[in-house]
A and B are shown apart, each in its own frame.
Chain A
Amino acid sequence: MSIRTQDYQAHIDEANCKLILSGSLRLNAAPEYQPISDLMDAACVVAQQGSPAILTLDLTDLRFLNSSGINLLYQFVLKVKKQGGLGLRVLGSNSNAWQPKSLSNMVKFMPTLELVMT
């Protein structure tokens, strides 16, 4: 399952229970982000069948994310926390300037979330 455009890619790596977002995401508000939100939900279903049930969200190659996209990520974290039963690991890169700034707060919203910055 994947979405590929000129600007960004979103892909579920089922074998590794991983959702990979890459490129530059500058979509206009929540309705335009809906296909990615749907893909995130599908990735949760895949990851819930794993043992342990952990979804890895790989943002290492996501170079740019606008504030609507940041909202999407945080809404997703809150949804996973609320539903329970699924762990969340987020991979980021310090070489993408927005990531250390914007991802570090996620742990406050979901204390069990594992944030790995490289």
Chain B
Amino acid sequence: MGGLIAIGRLRVSSEFDDEFYLGLPKSLAPWDAANHVAQFLSAWLEETLKQRQFSVDSLNYVINELMENAIKYAADGRIELAVCVANDALLVSLTHPLLESRAKIYQALAQQVFEADPELLFAEIIERNTDADAGEQTGAGLGLVSLRQNYQAGLAFGFQRQDSSEIVQTTTQVSLPWQ
């Protein structure tokens, strides 16, 4: 097993009061799964976490964006979604396999989203997409930067390379501060 490359502070189970897991194989995740999972978990957590203050719409958007990215880009394997209750925030953590070539692109994007001024990066991505053909345009970078810009979300990323394979286990963590 290769080492873990982290961008930002990846949080671990011991930091959470509760965790809710959902796992599904990529082969059973058509495009609509993003919507269904986001709607279901948002509505269910609204009921389950009544004592906490959070935006259900924000949670819906976060889960949908992460699931859409996973459905688009994940290699064959398991998509694991966790919603975690921490003292300061509600976390959504998505882990899935990526081919190494795709993981390199995502790691560079993650680094950029993590470090850049979100307002400037949002404008840069919009301008970049203006120059691209429709088929090359993507909401991936825009989705991540919009989480920082519009939802005050914290982001962290993990890339776990596996020896003797071209697969990188990739984790994206989004934290939504309690309101």
Contact = CB atoms under 8 A, between A and B. Distances in A.
A75 to B, nearest CB: 6
A29 B139 contact: yes
Given A70-B146, A71-B142, A64 B60 contact: yes
8 contacts: A26-B68, A30-B134, A37-B134, A68-B139, A71-B138, A75-B129, A97-B58, A108-B123
Interface extent on A, as a size class?
20 to 34
B134 A78 contact: no
Residue from A67, A75, A101 with most neighbouring chain B CB atoms (10 Å): A67
A4 B16 CA distance: 44
Interface string B102-139: 00000000000000000100110010011000110111
B34 interface: yes
Contacts, number: 77
A31 interface: yes
B126 A67 contact: no
A102 B31 CA distance: 23
Nearest to B142: A67
Contacts of B31: 28
Contacts of A96: 57
A34 interface: yes
Interface string A84-104: 000000000000111001100
Interface in B3-28: none
B130 A29 contact: no
A37 B130 CA distance: 13
A71 B150 contact: no
Nearest to B34: A26
B160 interface: no
Contact of A98 (B61, B68, B119, B123): B61
Given A75-B126, A97-B55, A98-B61, A29 B137 contact: yes
A78 B131 CA distance: 11
A26 B135 contact: no
A2 interface: no
Contact of A109 (B57, B72, B126, B137): B126
